[in-house]
Chain A
Amino acid sequence: MISKKDNVGQPILSISDVAKHYPIREGALQRVVGHVRAVDGVSFDIFPGKTVGLVGESGCGKSTLGKVVAGLTDPTSGSVRYNFNTQLVSISSLEKNKFKNFRRNCQMVFQDSFASLNPRHLVFDIVGRPLKVYKEVSGYDLVEKVVSLLNQVGLGREHLYRYPHQFSGGQRQRISIARALALNPEIIILDEPTSALDVSVQAQILNLLNELQKARNLAYLFVTHDLSVVRHMADSLVVMYLGKIAEAGETQAIFAKPYHPYTKALMDAKPSFDEGQNSKAKGLEGVVPDPARPPQGCRFHTRCSLATDKCGWEVDDVVRWLEDTPGMFESLTAVERKSEFSAVLSFSDESSAANLKQEMRSEKLPASMRKALNKVNINEKNVQIEFEPVEEILLREKDGRHAACIIEPKKVNQEA
């Protein structure tokens, strides 16, 4: 989907409409009561020697997508296609031999450098293991090959026979990178490779990754929740929100002028000084909705400061608002839905019902939400509400860029 002028060549990996839903099971019989839509229809291409940055808040499905792309789990729908001699072939339909070929060429580096290295294996075992699996080299040559790999990531022969716990976080991540390089792959998926590291160490690892990419023409899928990390790493960006692409395009263009309010909010979010792992971005108010029940219309409308009446206001927004309003939620007895946009809310007393009707037209609700409201009827203890139904807001192309927002890019950047 991301087309680039300087990439006349074919993509090495093409992700088309990939979805991954995890079943939610409940009760003694473990019946499936719903699905977590971790990834919900995502498409983009990865080109040789280039980096795609995959960004988004915690829980938006980045790691899940990374695992699907790496062939670790099958997508619920859609396909990941790998470039076999200029032919794009879906990796889930590959025969054994060809999958092995893909497997060798698509490696992964994980976020937690400690958890991703077997604590009982020596560095030599860890870095040499891929070579043993494919019977590349053995004996003395194996040792020399491992040493040369260690040298490439800034470690040396003296580290061969040590256990992972004897290294610092940055060094362990270097070991992970050496293991990923062992089979001379074309693509490496980097799942937050630096987010557990100190800032200074982070820079060293990023430099190392850049050098390796140049030397070996590697393609990276760089997963991160930190936009500033990919700014200088990625050629193109895919910004995800709740399992979907909010915006995609070339990194420089996006940084110069984001087309989606979510990207803008992420960029404006200044990392606080004593930032924890998943500290919440400052420009982003509120919480990420449950991926098992994603919002209608635009998934970002519950938190978007620019939201309009066409953005998908729905019954759930009223219920969420009631939850945050003390006194009102307790008297809510039932929600009878006709659709996502229309429902009858029953209360235990008439005054609460009257109160809701009044509030629905008051300043306490966003103006855009009020505008989207078609009907509020009261009948004793029941309030009927109806919003204007809205289709899902899809990714649209504009000037060779993609964003899933109905308002003009100009407007996104006007508002400070």
Chain B
Amino acid sequence: MQTWIEELLLENKMNERAFDNLHYDGDTAFRVRIRRFGALLGRLCSNPTTVIGLIIIGLMMAMAIFAPWITEANVPDPYQMPRDWGAVRKPPGTPGFLLGTTNEGGDVFYGVVWGSRTSLQLSLYVVGSTMIIGTIIGSLAGLLGGWVDEFLMRLVDVFLSIPELIFALAIAAVLGPSFTNIIIALSMVIWVKYARIMRAQVLQVKQNEYVEAAKVIGDTKLNIYLKDILPNAVTPVTVQATLDMGNVVLIGATLSFIGLSEAGIAEWGVLVSEGQAGIASGRWWASTFPGMMIFLWALAFNLVGDGLRDALDPRTEGR
């Protein structure tokens, strides 16, 4: 008896406090939304590992954006490694070659810096396109149901039954070695994940009574999808996309390492591959520095993705 009354009182008190903190009188809708977004950022930044991830990502982005200012762009194609056949196998610290050179006179520092651009492109193209395709297909399956759902999900199951790396490898091998083909191969493999997540989310969200309520006021199906279903369903997709920004570079580097990318391109995986022959002879630098970059990139996005998952948790969101 006593306890539930106490619980009720406590809950009331907490509600009152929440009301005091959130007195929005006179605020516009816009400012309230900004504040909600700010609160999300605040929750995100309250987690130290997430902050570390964000800092690493920030530095990587800066490096990608300012690459031409950090080291002079190679002409005519800046994504091609500059070759100096007069300076092969130089160790780190050699004047003009901060991180040393490869067997073929490639500047490791140049590869590390411009490789961040290549990686950013790779992950943005792959994650961007697969997220859109997966979201559309998953939504259609979840909304329409019936044979459309049946067909799309069989397709997804087929794709998911093959391990990601092997599948991407097979596609890239068939398409022939090039960086664009790696993007295509990865996109073909990854969209299914988003389709599956989105379908499950849509099936769940469309059960909510606010969807029914929107039907009662007579809103259109498209509006109900865009205003009620999509915004409430998309959170796990965002988290997965963040994680994949890292994973895609990891798999992409693996494919490059095997030689499915263009030779000589300023890409971390290619660079690791180029440097591996020298490791046995003690020339560790050509593989180690780009390898570290791949590791840091994947780690940073995984840290932020995990943080985002916690920050967007429906149990804590908006409270």
* A133, A162, A176: the one within 8 Å of B218 (CB): A133
- CA A165 – CA B19 in complex, angstroms? 10
* B222 within 8 Å of A (CB atoms): no
* A112 within 8 Å of B (CB atoms): yes
Which of chain B's residues has its CB closest to A131's CB? B217
Q: Is the CB of A130 within 8 A of B232?
A: no
> How many residues of B are in contact with the other chain, CB < 8 A?
32
* B208 within 8 Å of A (CB atoms): yes
Q: A115-B209, A118-B210, A119-B232 are in contact. Are A168 and B218 (CB under 8 A)?
A: no
Kindly identify, within residues 21 to 60 of chain B, every residue whose CB is under 8 Å from any CB belonging to chain A.
22-25, 27-29, 31-32, 36
Which of chain B's residues has its CB closest to A110's CB? B209
Which of chain B's residues has its CB closest to A67's CB? B212
User: How would residues 290 to 319 of chain B score, 1 for a CB under 8 Å from any chain A CB and 0 otherwise?
Assistant: 000000000000000000000000000011
* B75 within 8 Å of A (CB atoms): no
Q: Is the CB of B218 within 8 A of A130?
A: yes
Q: Is the CB of A129 within 8 A of B212?
A: no
Contacts of B228 in A (CB 8 A): 118
Could you tell me the distance in whole angstroms from the C-beta of B35 to the nearest C-beta in chain A? 10
* B214 within 8 Å of A (CB atoms): yes
Among A32-40, A99-107, A210-218, A344-352, the one that faces the other chain is A99-107
Kindly identify, within residues 55 to 70 of chain A, every residue whose CB is under 8 Å from any CB belonging to chain B.
67, 70
* B227 within 8 Å of A (CB atoms): yes
Which of chain B's residues has its CB closest to A162's CB? B24
Contacts of B215 in A (CB 8 A): 72
- CA A72 – CA B208 in complex, angstroms? 14
* A122 within 8 Å of B (CB atoms): yes
Q: Is the CB of A179 within 8 A of B218?
A: no
Q: Is the CB of B212 within 8 A of A107?
A: no
Could you tell me the distance in whole angstroms from the C-beta of A60 to the nearest C-beta in chain B? 20
- CA A40 – CA B290 in complex, angstroms? 71
Could you tell me the distance in whole angstroms from the C-beta of B280 to the nearest C-beta in chain A? 56
Q: A120-B232, A166-B19 are in contact. Are A100 and B218 (CB under 8 A)?
A: yes
Q: Is the CB of A124 within 8 A of B318?
A: no
* B144 within 8 Å of A (CB atoms): no
Contacts of A67 in B (CB 8 A): 212
* A117 within 8 Å of B (CB atoms): yes
Q: Is the CB of B32 within 8 A of A158?
A: no
Could you tell me the distance in whole angstroms from the C-beta of A130 to the nearest C-beta in chain B? 4
Main secondary structure of the interface of A (DSSP, over half): loop
Could you tell me the distance in whole angstroms from the C-beta of A184 to the nearest C-beta in chain B? 12
Could you tell me the distance in whole angstroms from the C-beta of A119 to the nearest C-beta in chain B? 7
Question: Number of A-B pairs whose CB atoms are under 8 Å?
Answer: 80
* A163 within 8 Å of B (CB atoms): yes
* A362 within 8 Å of B (CB atoms): no
Could you tell me the distance in whole angstroms from the C-beta of B115 to the nearest C-beta in chain A? 39
Kindly identify, within residues 148 to 202 of chain A, every residue whose CB is under 8 Å from any CB belonging to chain B.
158, 160-163, 165-166, 168, 176, 179, 182-183
* A116 within 8 Å of B (CB atoms): yes
* A247 within 8 Å of B (CB atoms): no
Q: Is the CB of B25 within 8 A of A179?
A: no
Kindly identify, within residues 209 to 235 of chain B, every residue whose CB is under 8 Å from any CB belonging to chain A.
209-210, 212-220, 223, 227-228, 231-232
* A19 within 8 Å of B (CB atoms): no
* A129, A158, A162, A163: the one within 8 Å of B217 (CB): A129
* A140 within 8 Å of B (CB atoms): no
Q: Is the CB of A168 within 8 A of B15?
A: yes
Contacts of B217 in A (CB 8 A): 103, 107, 129-130, 133, 179, 182-183
- Which of A67, A103, A134, A161 has most chain B Cβ within 10 Å? A161
Q: A124-B29, A161-B29, A165-B319 are in contact. Are A129 and B214 (CB under 8 A)?
A: yes
Could you tell me the distance in whole angstroms from the C-beta of A241 to the nearest C-beta in chain B? 25
* A234 within 8 Å of B (CB atoms): no
- CA A106 – CA B217 in complex, angstroms? 9
Q: Is the CB of B29 within 8 A of A165?
A: no
Q: A133-B217, A163-B318 are in contact. Are A117 and B210 (CB under 8 A)?
A: yes
Kindly identify, within residues 109 to 135 of chain B, every residue whose CB is under 8 Å from any CB belonging to chain A.
none
Which of chain A's residues has its CB closest to B216's CB? A108
* B10 within 8 Å of A (CB atoms): no
* B148 within 8 Å of A (CB atoms): no
* B170 within 8 Å of A (CB atoms): no
Q: Is the CB of A72 within 8 A of B319?
A: no
Q: Is the CB of A115 within 8 A of B219?
A: no
* B18 within 8 Å of A (CB atoms): yes
User: How would residues 140 to 172 of chain B score, 1 for a CB under 8 Å from any chain A CB and 0 otherwise?
Assistant: 000000000000000000000000000000000
* A115, A122, A176: the one within 8 Å of B32 (CB): A122
Q: Please name 16 further chain A to chain B contacts, defined as beta carbons within 8 Å, in addition to the given A67-B212, A160-B29, sorted by A numbering.
A: A107-B217, A108-B213, A110-B213, A116-B213, A121-B227, A129-B219, A130-B217, A133-B217, A133-B220, A134-B218, A158-B24, A161-B24, A162-B22, A162-B24, A162-B32, A166-B19
Question: Can you offer 27 A-B residue contacts whose CB atoms are under 8 A?
Answer: A72-B212, A72-B215, A100-B218, A103-B217, A110-B212, A115-B210, A116-B210, A116-B212, A116-B213, A117-B210, A118-B232, A119-B232, A120-B231, A122-B32, A129-B217, A130-B218, A133-B218, A134-B218, A158-B25, A160-B29, A161-B24, A161-B27, A161-B31, A162-B22, A163-B36, A165-B319, A166-B19
The 6 closest A-B pairs by CB, nearest first: A116-B209, A130-B217, A103-B218, A115-B209, A118-B210, A108-B216
